[in-house]
Amino acid sequence: MPEPTSTAAGVITVVTGTATSAMITAFGVSLGLRVDVLIAGFAGALVAIILFNAVPGSSDTWRELLRTTVRRMAVAFASSLTAGYLAPLALLVHQLPDPALTGVAFAVGGGAQQVLGFFIRRFSGQAQAAPQQPGGGATP
């Protein structure tokens, strides 16, 4: 009969192993990206592409289908990178708890263009400037 402590130690090892996430390195340099956040952002990008038709196709020729497929792959890749870098920042901006990280990463991956535009406006100081009308005057 096995010792109860060995089973408990095995369970603790599995639980702590899944609770921590590895950081991605390229050429020996840590990129600051977590694998679980990238996967959640990728899943959000796939949902946006499939359900919201974020990258629509235009015709049924094989060249256009290939071009659309490459564009969809690039959007999914860029959305997962955006989620990987901006989801932790979104937690800080909106003061959310850490367990919400993968959910935020999913949402950021799904709306990467809008989220990236929001963060660029927020941190560049353009959000405080008064919006301009097309005629050149400021809105009242």
Question: d(Cα 113, Cα 3) in Å, to the nearest integer?
Answer: 54
Domain that holds residue 68: 29-124
Model confidence pLDDT, tens digit, residues 11-51:
444 444 445 667 888 888 888 899 999 999 999 999 999 99
Residue 97 lies in a domain: yes
| CB-based contacts of 4, cutoff 8 Å, min separation 6 | none
Residue 140 lies in a domain: no
Q: Is the pLDDT of residue 4 over 70?
A: no
Domain count, the chain: 1
Model confidence pLDDT, tens digit, residues 51-79:
988 888 877 889 998 999 999 999 999 99
Percent of the chain at pLDDT > 70 equals: 75
Across all residues in the chain, what is the average pLDDT? 80
Residue 112 lies in a domain: yes
